[in-house]
């Protein structure tokens, strides 16, 4: 059983496995984390107890060891997690010769802010930056439309052919992304009905992003767990499918829409191989595609400044929406039960 791996940090087990692992009911509801041990909070919250008991904690030796381990861990995490990024930040405002001769020294010959300006204006990282935003925004919109309308039809409207459609959607989870590479590329060159190549248009990145079975599964399961009585009541009041979708289901789905949005935007920001294949003009390429090409042509300090600028937005998003990110990342585990 194979799964496509284009979902960062959130691999998905086939839904059949959820129950096979002994989670009763296999309920992956987001609102009540996995519904398995409801007595605990989310991954980010401190639990009332863990491996080390209160009795253990009262022993000074254990307390000291635990504290030492935690301090060491923090230092290691700072060095490994933050260190490379701090170095990049430093190098982005350091002259090339300093970075080459004494890479670990902190500003031996002063600071060169000009690097950032050159990267942004002369190298036109600003264009690539906007392109990245456009790619991410479009992919996000397409994924949200497909996942919410499809999830709504499959979960709430439930047509007779729904089971077949859902089965086919699930089946794509077992096909590695690499199998799609060449035929998808040829589809972009010669799409059905449109008659003109989508190569070097953003549609070539936006539309395939929508075919994410992972999103559909997440959203459908969330809708499945919404209380059915509300739908009945809305129907009684004469709400049609569209009203039900827009005024009842969507407003109740903020948590899952947030998760899908995080996945969509991160994936769009990270993707390399596919946009490299279909966006061949430098003027419309996003950062990830353009940066490797810049490597040979521009000076090291400006290049590192460009790398630093490319990292800023994802890091800023992460710092602001940290909870949502970490909850989404932990979701992969929650689904596995």
Partner 1 sequence: MSTLQRPAAPTRRSPVSWVRRGGLSTLLFMLPLLVIFGVFSWKPIVEAVVMSLQKTNLVSPAAFVGLDNYVRVLSDPQLGQAVLNTVYFALLALLFGYPVPLVVAVLMSEVKRMRGLYSALAYLPVVVPPVVAVLLWKVFYNADPNGPFNTVLSWVGIPPQPWLQSAASAMPSLVLEATWAGAGGTIIIYLAALTAVNPDLYDAAEIDGAGIWKKVRHVTLPQLRPVLLITFILQIIGTAQVFLEPFLFTNGGPANSTTTVLLLIYRYAFQNSLGGNYGAATALSVLLAVFLAGFSLLYFRLTRSWSSE
The residues in 158-187 that bind partner 1, with binding defined as CB under 8 A, are 159, 162, 165, 168-169, 172, 174-187
Closer to partner 1 by Cβ: residue 81 or 227? 81
Rounded to the nearest 10 degrees, what angle do helices 162-172 and 213-224 cross at?
Answer: 130
One-character DSSP codes across 174-203: TS-HHHHHHHHHHHHHS-TTT-S--TTSTH
> Is residue 130 near partner 1 by the rule CB under 8 A?
no
How many whole angstroms separate alpha carbon 337 and alpha carbon 326?
17
* 147, containing H or E segment: helix 125-152
Exactly one of 15, 27, 29, 62 binds partner 1 (CB under 8 A); that residue is: 62
> Is residue 25 near partner 1 by the rule CB under 8 A?
no
Minimum gap (Å) between residue 273 Cβ and partner 1: 6
Residues in contact with partner 1, total (CB under 8 A)? 130
Exactly one of 142, 256, 278, 279 binds partner 1 (CB under 8 A); that residue is: 142
CB atoms within 10 A of CB 79: 11
Six-digit token pair at 304? 């590192």
Question: 261-300 mask for partner 1 (x: CB under 8 A)?
Answer: -----x--xx-xx---x---------xxx-xx--x----x
Exactly one of 110, 167, 192, 195 binds partner 1 (CB under 8 A); that residue is: 192
One-character DSSP codes across 2-49: -----STT-----HHHHHHTT-GGG---TTTGGGS-TTS--TTSPPS-
Enumerate residues 200-239 that contact partner 1 by CB under 8 A.
207-208, 210-211, 213, 216
Minimum gap (Å) between residue 269 Cβ and partner 1: 6
> Is residue 29 near partner 1 by the rule CB under 8 A?
no
């Amino acid at each position: 059983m194979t799964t496509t791996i284009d979902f960062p940090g959130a691999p998905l087990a086939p839904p059949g496995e959820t129950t096979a692992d002994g989670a009763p009911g296999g309920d992956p509801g987001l609102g009540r984390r996995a519904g398995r041990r409801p007595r605990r909070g989310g991954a980010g919250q401190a639990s009332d107890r863990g491996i080390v008991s209160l009795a253990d904690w009262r022993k000074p030796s254990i307390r000291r060891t635990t504290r030492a381990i935690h301090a060491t861990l923090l230092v290691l995490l700072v060095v490994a997690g933050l260190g490379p990024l701090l170095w990049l930040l430093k190098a982005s405002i350091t002259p090339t010769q300093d970075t080459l001769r004494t890479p670990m020294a902190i500003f031996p010959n002063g600071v060169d802010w000009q690097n950032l300006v050159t990267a942004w204006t002369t190298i036109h990282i600003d264009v690539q930056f906007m392109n990245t935003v456009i790619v991410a925004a479009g992919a996000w919109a397409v994924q949200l439309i497909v996942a919410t309308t499809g999830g709504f039809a499959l979960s709430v409207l439930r047509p007779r052919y729904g089971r077949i459609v859902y089965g086919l959607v699930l089946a794509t989870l077992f096909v590695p992304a690499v199998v799609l590479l060449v035929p998808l590329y040829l589809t972009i060159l010669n799409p059905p009905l449109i008659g003109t190549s989508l190569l070097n248009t953003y549609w070539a990145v936006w539309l395939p992003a929508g075919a994410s079975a992972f999103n559909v599964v997440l959203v459908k399961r969330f809708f499945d767990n919404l209380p059915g009585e509300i739908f009945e009541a809305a129907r009684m009041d004469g709400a049609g499918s569209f009203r039900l979708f827009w005024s009842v289901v969507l407003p109740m789905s903020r948590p899952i829409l947030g998760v899908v949005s995080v996945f969509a935007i991160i994936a769009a920001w990270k993707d390399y191989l596919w946009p490299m294949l279909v966006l061949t003009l430098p003027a419309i390429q996003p950062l990830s595609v353009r940066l490797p090409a810049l490597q040979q042509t521009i000076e090291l300090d400006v290049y590192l400044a460009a790398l630093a600028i490319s990292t800023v937005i994802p890091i800023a998003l992460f710092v602001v929406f940290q909870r949502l990110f970490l909850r989404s990342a932990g979701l992969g585990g929650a689904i596995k039960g």
